[in-house]
Amino acid sequence: MHHLKSYQLAAEFYGEAKGIELPYYVKDQLRRAALSIALNLSEATGKRSMRDRVRFFEIAMGSIRECQSITELESHAFTALQKDLLDHLAASTFKLIRNSAIQKPNRLPPSASHLPLASAALFRKNRHFDQTNLFGNGFGVGSLPYLTYGFPFLRYDMKMTHLM
């Protein structure tokens, strides 16, 4: 976690937020939002897909905006350094979101029915028959059996005619 600049800034801001003098209900909201920033940044780094990471980075950004609203509404309680720290955290998290969104998300490969015969052979190692699609609506009058390729979280269906 310490390799992520945004997380370091979030942890620093959380420490600052605990020491700020505000009415209880506002201070509680500020502390929960500041904690949410660090926790969502941390959780994002544990996600495998870029889509999930970006989602948690965006949730963290929402909590940052919540903290920024409190700093505007209760500006007398915050120092310029605390406001700058929060702005720097917002900029750093924004860059995380932007740079993560620029990377191409985990795209689905084209449907197996569009793969040439040579590409279909590469998938044979992971193939299995899907019993529900094997004979369609009866023993095959007008329906062709389907071959299903299983990958983690993905399924590709291909008419067996492409393999013949």
What domains can you pick out in the chain, each with its CATH number?
A: 5-102 (1.20.1440.60), 112-162 (no CATH)
- pLDDT band of residue 102 (cuts 50, 70, 90) is confident
Residue pLDDT, tens place only, 9-27:
999 999 999 999 999 999 9
Q: Give residue for tokens 């699609």.
A: 133
Residue pLDDT, tens place only, 24-42:
999 999 999 999 999 999 9
Which position has the higher pLDDT, 142 or 33? 33
- DSSP code string of the chain: -TT-HHHHHHHHHHHHHHT----HHHHHHHHHHHHHHHHHHHHHHT-SSHHHHHHHHHHHHHHHHHHHHHHHHTGGGS-HHHHHHHHHHHHHHHHHHHHHHHSPP-PPPPPGGGS-HHHHHHTGGGEE--TTTSSTTTTSTT---EEEEEETTEEEEEEGGGT-
Model-level pTM?
A: 0.61
